[in-house]
A = this chain, B = another copy of it.
Amino acid sequence: MDITTLIGILGAFGIIIGAILTGGEIGPFIDVPSVLIVVGGTFFVTFSQVTLGDFLGSFVLGLKSFLYKVDDPLQLIEESVQMADIARKNGLLALEGQEISNHFMKKGISLCVDGHDPSLVKKMLESENRLMLVRHENGIRMFTNMATMAPAMGMIGTLVGLVQMLSNMSDPAAIGPAMAVALLTTLYGAIIANAFAQPVADKLTRATELEDLNNRLIMETISAIQEGMNPRVLEQLLSTYLTNAKRPSQE
Protein backbone atom coordinates (compact mmCIF):
# COMPACT_ATOMS: atom_id res chain seq x y z
CA MET A 1 0.00 0.00 0.00
CA ASP A 2 2.79 2.38 0.80
CA ILE A 3 4.24 2.17 -2.66
CA THR A 4 1.79 4.48 -4.45
CA THR A 5 2.31 7.43 -2.10
CA LEU A 6 6.09 7.17 -2.19
CA ILE A 7 6.26 6.73 -5.97
CA GLY A 8 3.62 9.39 -6.55
CA ILE A 9 5.28 12.08 -4.44
CA LEU A 10 8.77 11.32 -5.77
CA GLY A 11 7.38 11.29 -9.31
CA ALA A 12 5.63 14.65 -8.89
CA PHE A 13 8.80 16.24 -7.51
CA GLY A 14 10.78 14.65 -10.34
CA ILE A 15 8.42 16.09 -12.96
CA ILE A 16 8.65 19.59 -11.45
CA ILE A 17 12.46 19.49 -11.28
CA GLY A 18 12.53 18.13 -14.84
CA ALA A 19 10.36 21.03 -16.01
CA ILE A 20 12.76 23.48 -14.35
CA LEU A 21 15.85 21.88 -15.92
CA THR A 22 14.27 21.79 -19.40
CA GLY A 23 13.85 25.56 -19.31
CA GLY A 24 17.24 26.49 -17.88
CA GLU A 25 19.27 26.14 -14.70
CA ILE A 26 17.95 25.29 -11.26
CA GLY A 27 19.89 28.18 -9.70
CA PRO A 28 17.18 30.85 -9.85
CA PHE A 29 14.76 28.47 -8.18
CA ILE A 30 16.72 28.13 -4.98
CA ASP A 31 16.50 30.93 -2.45
CA VAL A 32 17.17 30.12 1.17
CA PRO A 33 15.17 32.97 2.78
CA SER A 34 12.17 32.00 0.64
CA VAL A 35 12.46 28.38 1.77
CA LEU A 36 12.65 29.56 5.38
CA ILE A 37 9.57 31.76 5.21
CA VAL A 38 7.40 29.06 3.61
CA VAL A 39 8.66 25.97 5.42
CA GLY A 40 9.25 27.74 8.74
CA GLY A 41 6.04 29.73 8.61
CA THR A 42 3.98 26.67 7.72
CA PHE A 43 5.66 24.70 10.51
CA PHE A 44 4.95 27.32 13.16
CA VAL A 45 1.37 27.93 12.08
CA THR A 46 0.43 24.25 11.93
CA PHE A 47 2.19 23.80 15.26
CA SER A 48 0.02 26.52 16.78
CA GLN A 49 -3.17 24.80 15.61
CA VAL A 50 -2.70 21.61 17.63
CA THR A 51 -1.64 20.29 21.00
CA LEU A 52 1.85 18.92 21.51
CA GLY A 53 0.51 15.36 21.64
CA ASP A 54 -1.36 15.83 18.37
CA PHE A 55 1.75 17.21 16.73
CA LEU A 56 3.88 14.19 17.55
CA GLY A 57 1.05 11.76 16.82
CA SER A 58 0.50 13.27 13.39
CA PHE A 59 4.08 12.63 12.39
CA VAL A 60 3.75 8.99 13.31
CA LEU A 61 0.49 8.81 11.35
CA GLY A 62 2.08 10.65 8.43
CA LEU A 63 4.84 8.06 8.23
CA LYS A 64 2.13 5.42 8.18
CA SER A 65 0.85 6.83 4.88
CA PHE A 66 4.03 5.46 3.34
CA LEU A 67 4.16 2.20 5.27
CA TYR A 68 0.53 1.55 6.12
CA LYS A 69 -0.66 -2.00 5.69
CA VAL A 70 -4.39 -2.52 5.84
CA ASP A 71 -5.49 -6.14 6.02
CA ASP A 72 -6.98 -7.70 2.91
CA PRO A 73 -10.75 -8.12 3.48
CA LEU A 74 -10.70 -11.43 1.57
CA GLN A 75 -8.33 -12.89 4.16
CA LEU A 76 -10.33 -11.39 7.03
CA ILE A 77 -13.47 -13.06 5.69
CA GLU A 78 -11.75 -16.43 5.50
CA GLU A 79 -10.52 -16.09 9.06
CA SER A 80 -13.98 -14.91 10.19
CA VAL A 81 -15.75 -17.89 8.68
CA GLN A 82 -13.19 -20.23 10.22
CA MET A 83 -13.78 -18.69 13.66
CA ALA A 84 -17.55 -18.99 13.24
CA ASP A 85 -17.10 -22.64 12.28
CA ILE A 86 -15.03 -23.41 15.36
CA ALA A 87 -17.42 -21.53 17.65
CA ARG A 88 -20.40 -23.31 16.21
CA LYS A 89 -18.91 -26.76 16.55
CA ASN A 90 -17.00 -26.45 19.82
CA GLY A 91 -18.45 -23.42 21.59
CA LEU A 92 -17.11 -19.95 22.16
CA LEU A 93 -14.40 -21.10 24.53
CA ALA A 94 -12.74 -23.08 21.72
CA LEU A 95 -11.78 -19.76 20.18
CA GLU A 96 -9.30 -19.18 22.97
CA GLY A 97 -5.73 -19.52 21.79
CA GLN A 98 -6.59 -19.27 18.07
CA GLU A 99 -3.98 -17.30 16.18
CA ILE A 100 -5.48 -14.09 14.86
CA SER A 101 -3.34 -11.55 13.03
CA ASN A 102 -5.76 -8.60 13.00
CA HIS A 103 -5.56 -6.62 16.22
CA PHE A 104 -9.22 -5.59 16.20
CA MET A 105 -10.51 -9.12 15.60
CA LYS A 106 -8.23 -10.40 18.32
CA LYS A 107 -9.78 -7.95 20.76
CA GLY A 108 -13.30 -8.90 19.67
CA ILE A 109 -12.71 -12.64 19.94
CA SER A 110 -11.07 -12.20 23.33
CA LEU A 111 -14.15 -10.30 24.56
CA CYS A 112 -16.34 -13.18 23.32
CA VAL A 113 -14.19 -15.75 25.07
CA ASP A 114 -14.37 -13.75 28.31
CA GLY A 115 -18.12 -14.31 28.14
CA HIS A 116 -19.18 -10.67 28.04
CA ASP A 117 -22.70 -9.78 27.04
CA PRO A 118 -23.15 -9.29 23.23
CA SER A 119 -24.43 -5.74 23.72
CA LEU A 120 -21.38 -4.85 25.85
CA VAL A 121 -19.00 -6.41 23.31
CA LYS A 122 -20.67 -4.42 20.56
CA LYS A 123 -20.42 -1.22 22.58
CA MET A 124 -16.72 -1.77 23.30
CA LEU A 125 -15.85 -2.53 19.68
CA GLU A 126 -17.87 0.40 18.40
CA SER A 127 -16.22 2.71 20.91
CA GLU A 128 -12.79 1.37 19.90
CA ASN A 129 -13.50 1.93 16.21
CA ARG A 130 -15.13 5.33 16.68
CA LEU A 131 -12.20 6.61 18.70
CA MET A 132 -9.72 5.23 16.16
CA LEU A 133 -11.56 7.33 13.58
CA VAL A 134 -11.46 10.42 15.81
CA ARG A 135 -7.70 10.01 16.35
CA HIS A 136 -6.99 9.50 12.65
CA GLU A 137 -9.15 12.44 11.60
CA ASN A 138 -7.21 14.59 13.99
CA GLY A 139 -3.89 13.44 12.55
CA ILE A 140 -5.13 13.94 9.00
CA ARG A 141 -6.28 17.44 9.89
CA MET A 142 -2.68 18.51 10.48
CA PHE A 143 -1.79 17.65 6.89
CA THR A 144 -4.92 19.38 5.63
CA ASN A 145 -3.96 22.45 7.66
CA MET A 146 -0.50 22.29 6.11
CA ALA A 147 -2.06 22.16 2.63
CA THR A 148 -4.01 25.34 3.45
CA MET A 149 -1.26 27.19 5.25
CA ALA A 150 1.69 26.58 2.89
CA PRO A 151 0.09 28.58 0.01
CA ALA A 152 -0.97 31.27 2.50
CA MET A 153 2.62 31.57 3.71
CA GLY A 154 3.75 31.56 0.07
CA MET A 155 1.43 34.47 -0.65
CA ILE A 156 2.67 36.39 2.41
CA GLY A 157 6.25 35.86 1.22
CA THR A 158 5.40 37.08 -2.28
CA LEU A 159 3.65 40.16 -0.89
CA VAL A 160 6.72 40.95 1.24
CA GLY A 161 8.91 40.60 -1.86
CA LEU A 162 6.60 42.76 -3.97
CA VAL A 163 6.48 45.55 -1.40
CA GLN A 164 10.28 45.54 -1.18
CA MET A 165 10.61 45.60 -4.97
CA LEU A 166 8.02 48.35 -5.43
CA SER A 167 9.44 50.64 -2.74
CA ASN A 168 12.75 50.69 -4.55
CA MET A 169 12.45 50.75 -8.33
CA SER A 170 15.45 52.97 -9.12
CA ASP A 171 17.20 50.20 -11.10
CA PRO A 172 14.83 48.89 -13.83
CA ALA A 173 17.11 45.93 -14.60
CA ALA A 174 16.64 44.63 -11.05
CA ILE A 175 12.86 44.53 -11.26
CA GLY A 176 12.59 41.25 -13.19
CA PRO A 177 14.89 39.19 -10.96
CA ALA A 178 13.39 40.73 -7.79
CA MET A 179 9.94 39.72 -8.94
CA ALA A 180 11.22 36.24 -9.80
CA VAL A 181 12.44 35.86 -6.23
CA ALA A 182 9.14 37.20 -4.89
CA LEU A 183 7.24 34.56 -6.86
CA LEU A 184 9.40 31.73 -5.47
CA THR A 185 7.54 31.59 -2.14
CA THR A 186 4.23 31.19 -3.98
CA LEU A 187 5.80 28.38 -5.98
CA TYR A 188 7.16 26.67 -2.87
CA GLY A 189 3.81 26.96 -1.13
CA ALA A 190 1.99 25.44 -4.09
CA ILE A 191 4.45 22.54 -4.29
CA ILE A 192 4.33 21.74 -0.56
CA ALA A 193 0.53 21.84 -0.58
CA ASN A 194 -0.17 19.93 -3.79
CA ALA A 195 2.72 17.53 -4.12
CA PHE A 196 3.11 16.64 -0.45
CA ALA A 197 0.59 17.69 2.21
CA GLN A 198 -2.69 17.15 0.35
CA PRO A 199 -1.70 13.74 -1.10
CA VAL A 200 -0.58 12.51 2.33
CA ALA A 201 -3.87 13.73 3.86
CA ASP A 202 -5.89 12.03 1.11
CA LYS A 203 -3.99 8.78 1.35
CA LEU A 204 -4.43 8.67 5.12
CA THR A 205 -8.14 9.37 4.70
CA ARG A 206 -8.40 6.45 2.30
CA ALA A 207 -6.39 4.11 4.55
CA THR A 208 -8.61 5.08 7.50
CA GLU A 209 -11.69 4.33 5.42
CA LEU A 210 -10.36 0.89 4.54
CA GLU A 211 -9.55 0.20 8.19
CA ASP A 212 -13.03 1.34 9.18
CA LEU A 213 -14.58 -1.03 6.60
CA ASN A 214 -12.48 -3.91 7.94
CA ASN A 215 -13.50 -3.12 11.49
CA ARG A 216 -17.17 -3.07 10.51
CA LEU A 217 -16.71 -6.45 8.83
CA ILE A 218 -15.15 -7.74 12.05
CA MET A 219 -17.97 -6.32 14.18
CA GLU A 220 -20.46 -8.18 11.96
CA THR A 221 -18.42 -11.35 12.47
CA ILE A 222 -18.22 -11.06 16.24
CA SER A 223 -21.91 -10.37 16.56
CA ALA A 224 -22.70 -13.30 14.22
CA ILE A 225 -20.48 -15.62 16.25
CA GLN A 226 -22.21 -14.58 19.46
CA GLU A 227 -25.68 -15.22 18.06
CA GLY A 228 -24.53 -18.50 16.51
CA MET A 229 -25.17 -17.60 12.87
CA ASN A 230 -24.57 -20.32 10.29
CA PRO A 231 -20.99 -19.86 8.97
CA ARG A 232 -22.21 -20.23 5.35
CA VAL A 233 -24.72 -17.42 5.85
CA LEU A 234 -22.05 -15.29 7.50
CA GLU A 235 -19.77 -15.86 4.52
CA GLN A 236 -22.50 -14.66 2.16
CA LEU A 237 -23.13 -11.62 4.34
CA LEU A 238 -19.46 -10.71 4.53
CA SER A 239 -18.94 -11.21 0.80
CA THR A 240 -20.81 -7.94 0.24
CA TYR A 241 -17.59 -6.29 1.42
CA LEU A 242 -15.83 -7.50 -1.72
CA THR A 243 -16.18 -6.34 -5.30
CA ASN A 244 -17.91 -8.87 -7.51
CA ALA A 245 -14.62 -9.74 -9.17
CA LYS A 246 -13.03 -10.80 -5.89
CA ARG A 247 -15.94 -12.82 -4.56
CA PRO A 248 -15.63 -16.58 -4.42
CA SER A 249 -18.19 -18.08 -6.78
CA GLN A 250 -21.45 -18.27 -4.85
CA GLU A 251 -23.56 -21.27 -5.48
Task: Name the interface size band of chain A.
Answer: 35 or more
Does A63 sit at the interface, judged by CB under 8 A?
no
Known: A48-B203, A55-B4. A180 touches B167 (CB 8 A): yes
Contacts of A1 in B (CB 8 A): 51-52
**Do A4 and B40 touch (CB < 8 A)?**
no
**Do A199 and B237 touch (CB < 8 A)?**
no
**Do A52 and B186 touch (CB < 8 A)?**
no
Closest to A33 in B: B22
Does A91 sit at the interface, judged by CB under 8 A?
no
CA–CA, A124 and B240, complex, Å: 7
**Do B44 and A7 touch (CB < 8 A)?**
yes
Does A156 sit at the interface, judged by CB under 8 A?
yes
**Do A16 and B3 touch (CB < 8 A)?**
no
Can you tell how many copies of this chain the complex includes?
5
**Do A37 and B24 touch (CB < 8 A)?**
no
Closest to A173 in B: B169
Contacts of A41 in B (CB 8 A): 12, 15-16, 195
Per-position 1/0 for A89-121, Cβ under 8 A of B:
000000000000000000000000000100010
**Do B28 and A203 touch (CB < 8 A)?**
no
CA–CA, A22 and B157, complex, Å: 12
Does A86 sit at the interface, judged by CB under 8 A?
no
Contacts of A20 in B (CB 8 A): 160, 164
Within 8 A of B (CB), among A157-171: 157, 159-164, 166-169
Known: A160-B20, A180-B166, A183-B166. A48 touches B7 (CB 8 A): yes
CA–CA, A61 and B18, complex, Å: 32
CA–CA, A226 and B7, complex, Å: 52
16 residue pairs of the A-B complex, CB under 8 angstroms, read A4-B52, A7-B47, A7-B48, A8-B45, A11-B40, A12-B41, A12-B44, A12-B45, A15-B40, A18-B37, A49-B202, A49-B203, A49-B206, A50-B203, A120-B237, A167-B180
